[in-house]
Amino acid sequence: MKEKRILFTGGGTAGHVIVNVALIPVFRQEGWKIDYIGSKNGIERDLIEPMEGVTYHSISTGKLRRYMSKENFKDPFKVMKGTMQAYRIMGKVKPHVIFSKGGFVSVPVLFASWLRHIPAVIHESDITPGLANKLAMPFAKKIVTTFAETISHVSAKKAEWVGAVVRDELIQGNRRVGLEQLGFSPEKAVLFIMGGSGGSQVINKAVRSSLDTLLKEFQIVHICGKNQMDDTIKRDGYVQFEYVNEGLNDLFAASDFVLSRAGSNAIFEFLALRKPMLLVPLSRKASRGDQLLNASSFKKQGYADVLEEEDLTSATLIQHLQDLKEHKNEILRNMSHYESQEAKQRVIEIIKEHSKKTN
């Protein structure tokens, strides 16, 4: 039997990598040869390169900036260079199929896959596609989506709603181990705080200014983001990390409530874990508004409360978290009606269906 090869891409934020992290072990266990194209210094390199059985390749990539910068004029040339690099990599490793999770590193990869006539599958997590996926979608054979609403924003002929792909290991966390790691009591509620893969200064500031009150209600595990820990804060029941990879599932298992940004992958993981959420989506000033749509969808379904960034103060944060605690049982009942669409298995089937066309 001919050896099968798959090439993954995606990066820039953890949200553009985590689905790949969930899928790669399945293909590795089935004997596929796995390559990954990412950027030289992106978070995708930190998450993917240590994985067993994956060969990581870095290429030049552009970046979406929502402000004027001379770098914007250089980006088309970076994308052209990245396309040539990806084209050469594909010529060497000869993948049967490409799977892209998005981010700007994926644009030259998808263009090169089209030039090489290698079928590509794109995963879109948000309700509306980001610019990188919009640019890359014409070069893909298939688009799979997390939200059903996304189908109306992409080519219906290519698109299929599959639901959320959740990492298996997250479901396997141990509450007792997580509480012991944190030094927390099992008798008091635990609040898990995460501001996205890069952290959120706005959320961090609001939380730290509210600690006196919050610590009366919660024990707090705070994922601050790189270089955003405050070592001057020494409080019982408050533990900070820059970022957590190993053992994250145990911290989730130990947590009763979540305060988070509204990135699609993260909030669907919290939903799968049945964690009532207070979401603080990125504002339109700092994004294209995708997190606002994600958060609105979850609020309508009764999975989460939403506090917009412009309204975030110490007082509003405390009030919304108290409300979240009061409505815990109602939110859990709503979450109990959510059924997995077996998304992970369906995505794997789609990838294999398209890879066969190159045999």
| DSSP state string for 270-300 | HHHTT--EEE-PPPTTTSSSHHHHHHHHHHH
Report the mean per-residue pLDDT for the chain: 91
Q: What DSSP designation does 4 have?
A: P
**Stretch 248-271: mean pLDDT:** 95
Tokens at residue 309, please? Answer: 């960034």
Model pLDDT for residues 89-105, shown as the tens digit of each residue: 999 999 999 999 988 89
Question: Please, are residues 199 and 228 in contact by the beta-carbon 8 Å criterion?
Answer: yes
Model pLDDT for residues 75-93, shown as the tens digit of each residue: 777 888 999 999 999 999 9
358 confidence band (pLDDT: 50, 70, 90): very low
**Stretch 324-338: mean pLDDT:** 95
- CA–CA separation, 287 and 277 (whole Å): 21
Question: Please, are residues 249 and 255 in contact by the beta-carbon 8 Å criterion?
Answer: no
Q: What is the percent of the chain with per-residue pLDDT over 90, rounded to a whole number?
A: 72
Given a cut of 70, whether residue 357 has pLDDT beyond it is no
Of 129-138, 144-153, 178-187, highest mean pLDDT: 178-187
Question: Please, are residues 64 and 75 in contact by the beta-carbon 8 Å criterion?
Answer: no
Model pLDDT for residues 162-171, shown as the tens digit of each residue: 999 988 888 8
Q: How many Cβ atoms are within 10 Å of 141's Cβ, its own excluded? A: 18
Q: How many Cβ atoms are within 10 Å of 104's Cβ, its own excluded? A: 25
**Stretch 308-334: mean pLDDT:** 96
- CA–CA separation, 158 and 62 (whole Å): 26
